[in-house]
Structure 1
């Protein structure tokens, strides 16, 4: 997970594992790479922009080696990204086309994924150039696109990669597994938690009735903040949505969870334009007490993920200190929300 207010990862946290030239040549055919440029912004997988001899521009994403320390759900993430983009494309959403995905295995030390490149700039990079009227239209367009994506139904709830073992036939069980996994990761990496482990682990059972209201495993990007939204314009025309990228954190679950990933530090449900766009496709979206309970639970989960991942990613200095302080405050804030809603 990344967000616009998060500083870049410290030097030395990057990795450079990439598929061998011969394997890449087999995928590209007659085309050759004339230039490769590292892309910034990712905090787990690496990405390079490949400019080809036939004029195409592609994105090559490479995962860390399997031996690299990672959270439980951070396995086979590029397989999740490939699945997300394929499913989202079927809804008409603008996403990169999946050209090739290769899991780690014999002769392949790290999973890799080859995608088409979406022209434009990320929303966070272009933010200061987007006038308010265009921003409102973009938020409505983004909301409608995410609502269409949420219309995709998975075979089970939770993370789709089998290696993580974090899926289940119902949402309370899947979310319990997801939350318990990050708590176990905190123990494994010796990360202090902002509340007692047992108390946090008991949240899904405490609010099981609210979680059980989710009956359909909807496709959720869960990382659709402005750094993963591509925008663009033609000449001096209006800014338009260019597409969604980086679907590696996707899961099947409560479509409301998308609001948490859209704004990790705030509350996207307060964005009237976003909700108007979402409800233009899915008018039944509700923000009743049960929905707000679930939103608070998902915010606790995301804050814990961001807190715990700082250790295996070796964040240091001011960034690590900021993340520690922010995540503790965020968890405390959302626990207070839960108490106020259903004390």
Structure 2
């Protein structure tokens, strides 16, 4: 195993040689970005499904995250190219809007002298919302959901140079949102064929959705920045030391992480990414937070309802197809196949009465 592959796979228990290679490559990259700093600790960070991540502790007290792309020959979906470049762009654009995200310290694209793309970020102290789900009370969740809605709205104020994914991958960009979304949908359907994942509906029905709902997609006239993966596992909560909430304080939104799935498109798509299994547009706390920044957002017109259904279909397809290259456990794969089939059927039924 090469050092680059070792860091991508984050093998904490891969034996002394593998761990030594990880430490050496980590030190090399951090010093390349920051100069002659001293690393005093570190460990693999688990939970990501594509890029590897490692916590890096410096002698001066700083804690950083080093992310590394998988080897170039690793199986991936059609849009999974240069994802750390996408994450870099997302965090920089989101930070400019005032949204809480990690600071980008250095991004090194893959190239002749660097076969493995990597990214160095500040570490956000706290715990993910997903980790704290059972601990949070309804009284705590309401303000957090409002803060999340406000953050999503701030992110959407950033405007991209085109529609679609940031990286220059053929077929994944467009001059209009309809063109870009059609390309994104075609790409994941091609991924399904490439990885031999059965579709939950006829390919012709799915491929034809962007044209069938062209008028609804044409309502999007600005390529807004969309995280599209801001589920609870990518939301960091931190303790607010405000004494009014007791000795331990209460939880507040510390930031959004893992912006590698971002694209430029419809702000409504963010609502789908916030909760792939639910319907965040029905959450009064979340929507109150969102509309405190963007009061004109609508989710109830025929066009908006059609677009929400389209994005739910797209995300369900991505989650369904990625089970093959990710090699999920059989029980999780079976659940994904069943859930995504139900989700797509449900959303096609939503779309039928909304057709032009």
**TM-score with structure 1 setting the length:** 0.93
Residue 193 (structure 1) aligned with residue 206 (structure 2): no
Residues 158-307 of structure 1: matches in 2 within 5 Å? 158-163=164-169, 165-233=171-239, 234=241, 235-287=247-299, 288-307=301-320
Correspondence for 2:101: 95
Structure 1 runs of 4+ with >3 Å offset = 16-21, 340-343
Q: Which moved more, 1:248-257 or 1:306-315?
A: 306-315
Change (3 A) 1:238 1:159: same
Correspondence for 2:244: none
Contact 2:45 2:54 in 1 (8 A): yes
Give ranges in structure 2 of 5+ residues lacking alignment. 1-7, 12-21, 242-246
Residues 144-155 of structure 1: matches in 2 within 5 Å? 144-155=150-161
Contact 2:235 2:257 in 1 (8 A): yes
Secondary structure of the equivalent of 2:249?
coil
Correspondence for 2:18: none
- What is the rounded CA distance, in whole Å, between the counterparts of 1:43 and 1:183 in structure 2? 20
Give ranges in structure 1 of 5+ residues lacking alignment. 1-13
- What is the rounded CA distance, in whole Å, between the counterparts of 1:242 and 1:291 in structure 2? 30
Q: Which moved more, 1:267-276 or 1:102-111?
A: 102-111
The CA deviation at 1:319 is 1.1
* Residue correspondences, number: 330
Counterpart of 2:147 (choices 118, 141, 156) is 141
1:169-197: per-residue Cα shift (whole Å, max 9, x none)? Answer: 11000000000000011111111101111
Larger RCO: Structure 1 or Structure 2 (Cα < 8 Å, ≥ 6 residues apart)?
Answer: 1
RMSD of Structure 2 on Structure 1 (CA): 1.5
Residue 130 (structure 1) aligned with residue 136 (structure 2): yes
Residue 318 (structure 1) aligned with residue 331 (structure 2): yes
